[in-house]
Amino acid sequence: MTSPHPPLRSYGRLKSRTIKPRQAALMDTLLPAIRAPLEPFEPRALMPGAAEVWLEIGFGGGEHLAAQAAKRPDVLFIGAEPFQNGVASALRHIDEAELKNVRVHDGDARDLLARLPDASLERVFILFPDPWPKARHHKRRLLQADTAAELARVLKVGGRLRFASDWADYVDWSLERLIATPGLSWTADRASDWRTPPADHVTTRYEEKRLGDCAPAFLDFVRT
């Protein structure tokens, strides 16, 4: 039975400034062609022969998503982002790089997770999500116990989850919930493991703005 009360939104506005004409055109032409299915689906059916399937939740302007997809054309990338200006920006990156291995969900990532089968992903990225810093808004944060459990469900054994934030309280919050999630194991052995950007990390313009209250922290977990 469908719950009469959908989960609280973990994101703010759906749109801000007017989308540029070229990007608006891509919303009408490219997005329908690469939109992730709106019903339960097997990711590999979207790209037969894909070596792996990676998911980025909250891809912002799409810089990280497009850069990773360009480096790994053998991997199917699924990006989830509700902010329409971000989706439009990502479509421009996808179009300019002529990427054929990206699919987009322009909505709440939790709806997408619910449509994925168990153990269907090799990697998940959650990079610099909305921190909702005020205590009364913490219930809106994406990383809740139930979301962490869903992430563990869709990851294959050996699959990896990366969470990054530059808000100290949100890092602590997320670490507490991820450590408590059965099937997820933190890979860090020393402080440099979370203080130093991973070798395969792609720094975006948003990250460079340093809008948080601490240096970026990177929490890598593996599905056991």
Give domain limits for the chain: 22-223
Residue where the block lists tokens 């469900």: 153
Strand partners, 164: 127, 218
Of residues 100 and 139, the one with the higher pLDDT is 100
pLDDT band at 68 (very low <50, low <70, confident <90, very high): very high
Average pLDDT over residues 72-97: 97
Average pLDDT over residues 135-158: 92
- What does the pLDDT look like over 12-42, one tens digit per residue? 445 557 899 999 999 999 999 999 999 999 9
Residues identified as active-site = 130
What rounded mean pLDDT belongs to the chain? 92
Which pLDDT does position 137 carry in this prediction?
Answer: 67
0.85 exceeded by pTM: yes
* Residues 104/58, Cβ–Cβ less than 8 Å: no
Which pLDDT does position 6 carry in this prediction?
Answer: 53
Percent of the chain with pLDDT over 90: 84
**Cα-only R_g, the chain:** 17
> Where does 22-223 sit in CATH, by number?
3.40.50.150
- Whether 8 shows a pLDDT value over 70: the answer reads no
Q: Distance between CA 122 and CA 216 in Å, rounded?
A: 24
**Which range (1-10, 94-103, 177-186, 214-223) has the least confidence?**
1-10
- Whether 3 shows a pLDDT value over 50: the answer reads no
What six digits make up the tokens of 2? 């469908």
- What does the pLDDT look like over 104-138, one tens digit per residue? 999 999 999 999 999 999 999 999 999 867 878 68
Q: Distance between CA 193 and CA 196 in Å, rounded?
A: 6
Residue where the block lists tokens 């059965």: 182
